[in-house]
A = this chain, B = another copy of it.
Amino acid sequence: MSEIIVQKFGGTSVGSDERINAVANIIKKATKENKVIVVVSAMSGETNRLIKLAKSFSDNPNRREFDALISTGEKVSASLLAMALEANGVKAKSFSASQISMKTTNHHSKARIVDVDGKKILSTLNEGIVPIITGFQGITESGDVTTLGRGGSDTTAVAIAAQVDATRCDIYTDVDGVYTTDPRVVPEAKKLDSITMEEMLEMAGQGAKVVQIRAVEFANKYKVPVRVLSSFEEGEGTLISLKEGNMENALISGIAFKKDQTKFTLHSVADTPGIAHKILGPVNDKDISVDVIVQNVSVNGKTDFTFTVDSEEEEKVKSILENEKSGLDYADLLIDANIAKVSVVGAGMRSHAGIASKAFEALSSEGINIQVISTSEIKLTLVIEEKYLELAVRSLHKAFNLEK
């Protein structure tokens, strides 16, 4: 009974009274071996129900009130889960963000955790009571309710695990772990027993939506091992490990991909110092995330500058770049919404040469043209025509023997 673990259950895991009872059984079992702290999301559908209520008054409701409203969802599921545990003979107590002083910045709807008071949680644990904590929410210094943004419950769980020095943070969801790639695209995709934090960050950022990216960053920063597993079926899930190099034999851990991307190319732009900032500064100012950024060597003082964004931002970015045309002094603006990104991710890339050429070869043998190439230490990202995406993912998965 000495180790503390944090268990986090997402919306589908607590989506009905039956699911809540199933979760209570998972917790009960865990309490036989460990001290357990629980973090819950709202029942699936509840947050959307509340958002719909808010939208009936305003398309752009007051953020403070909006957060106060939607934060009630986790309060409901936390209390219900505490009741379910009591009914199963396990002592439990729900705690809201204000009850455990989960302090955040005051950026409503996308607040960042600043601090959390672990004392109340630990004293509850020491009384043999399971603390059930509302995920996704916090309070400002002046006591206003904030929320952390969609998926923020993962971050809550990791923050609490860090605060109480938990041995592990288990993120229960409706998938049984992290896969080498999306099994809907590659039926042979294999569940990974473990993955490094860095690889997970690269995988998650590329659209492997198993666990919230901020939570992984948080776990990385505070060295909290995170495990991703299913509340719907038994299994060991995937451990997002702290240790680097435990994947020594595996060069590559997965293939990530993302659709609905738009590629902007500023053709023949003057290659002056600060040009990248001059182009992307106004885009960042509008809170638009830019993904792949590529600038090639310049010829005659002119270069081509390319970047990708989510397609839903296309119109905004287009008007920004057109407005800035005189300042930026480019010859042409090329916009292509017909693209997708595919990435090869693996810590082994650091120490092993030849990964890139193997990937190029795989795509080339399928006749897939690579439009843009971008690399990081553990990731190789390729921009290709969207229609080839599934084929590219399958051929890369096979080329790196990920089904084995």
| Interface residues of A, Cβ cutoff 8 Å to B | 17, 20-21, 50, 53-54, 56-58, 61-62, 64-66, 68-69, 72, 75-76, 78-80, 82-84, 86-87, 93-94, 96, 98-99, 143-145
Q: Are A62 and B86 in contact (CB under 8 A)?
A: yes
A57 to B66, CA, bound (A): 29
Residue of B nearest to A64 (CB): B93
With beta carbons under 8 angstroms apart, the residue of B83, B96, B144 that contacts A66 is B83
A50 to B99, CA, bound (A): 21
**18 A-B contacts (beta carbon < 8 Å):** A17-B53, A17-B57, A54-B80, A54-B83, A57-B80, A57-B87, A58-B86, A62-B82, A62-B86, A65-B83, A65-B94, A66-B83, A69-B76, A69-B80, A69-B83, A72-B72, A98-B143, A99-B144
Residue of B nearest to A144 (CB): B99
With beta carbons under 8 angstroms apart, the residue of B58, B64, B69, B79 that contacts A75 is B69
Instruction: Say how far A123's CB is from chain B's closest CB, in angstroms.
Output: 11
Instruction: Say how far A122's CB is from chain B's closest CB, in angstroms.
Output: 16
Known pairs A17-B53, A57-B20, A72-B72; A66 contacts B87 (CB<8 A)? no
Cβ contacts under 8 Å, A58 to chain B: 83, 86-87
Instruction: Say how far A109's CB is from chain B's closest CB, in angstroms.
Output: 13
Known pairs A66-B79, A66-B83, A69-B80; A143 contacts B54 (CB<8 A)? no
Cβ contacts under 8 Å, A75 to chain B: 68-69, 72, 75
A82 to B82, CA, bound (A): 30
8 smallest A-B Cβ distances: which pairs? A69-B79, A72-B72, A17-B56, A57-B83, A65-B79, A65-B82, A68-B79, A61-B83
A349 to B143, CA, bound (A): 52
Cβ contacts under 8 Å, A143 to chain B: 98-99
Say how many copies of this protein the assembly contains. Answer: 2
Known pairs A53-B17, A57-B80, A80-B57; A86 contacts B72 (CB<8 A)? no
With beta carbons under 8 angstroms apart, the residue of B56, B62, B72, B96 that contacts A76 is B72
Cβ contacts under 8 Å, A50 to chain B: 76
A62 to B86, CA, bound (A): 8
Cβ contacts under 8 Å, A64 to chain B: 93
Known pairs A57-B20, A75-B69; A83 contacts B62 (CB<8 A)? yes
With beta carbons under 8 angstroms apart, the residue of B76, B99, B144 that contacts A53 is B76
Cβ contacts under 8 Å, A145 to chain B: 96
Cβ contacts under 8 Å, A69 to chain B: 75-76, 79-80, 83
Residue of B nearest to A101 (CB): B143
A82 to B62, CA, bound (A): 8
Instruction: Say how far A80's CB is from chain B's closest CB, in angstroms.
Output: 6
Residue of B nearest to A54 (CB): B83
With beta carbons under 8 angstroms apart, the residue of B80, B87, B94, B98 that contacts A98 is B98
A64 to B61, CA, bound (A): 32
Most buried by B among A76, A94, A99: A76
Cβ contacts under 8 Å, A21 to chain B: 57
Cβ contacts under 8 Å, A17 to chain B: 53, 56-57
Instruction: Say how far A263's CB is from chain B's closest CB, in angstroms.
Output: 39
Cβ contacts under 8 Å, A54 to chain B: 79-80, 83
Given contacts A65-B93, A68-B96, 6 further A-B contacts (CB under 8 A): A20-B57, A58-B87, A61-B86, A64-B93, A65-B80, A65-B86
A143 to B101, CA, bound (A): 11
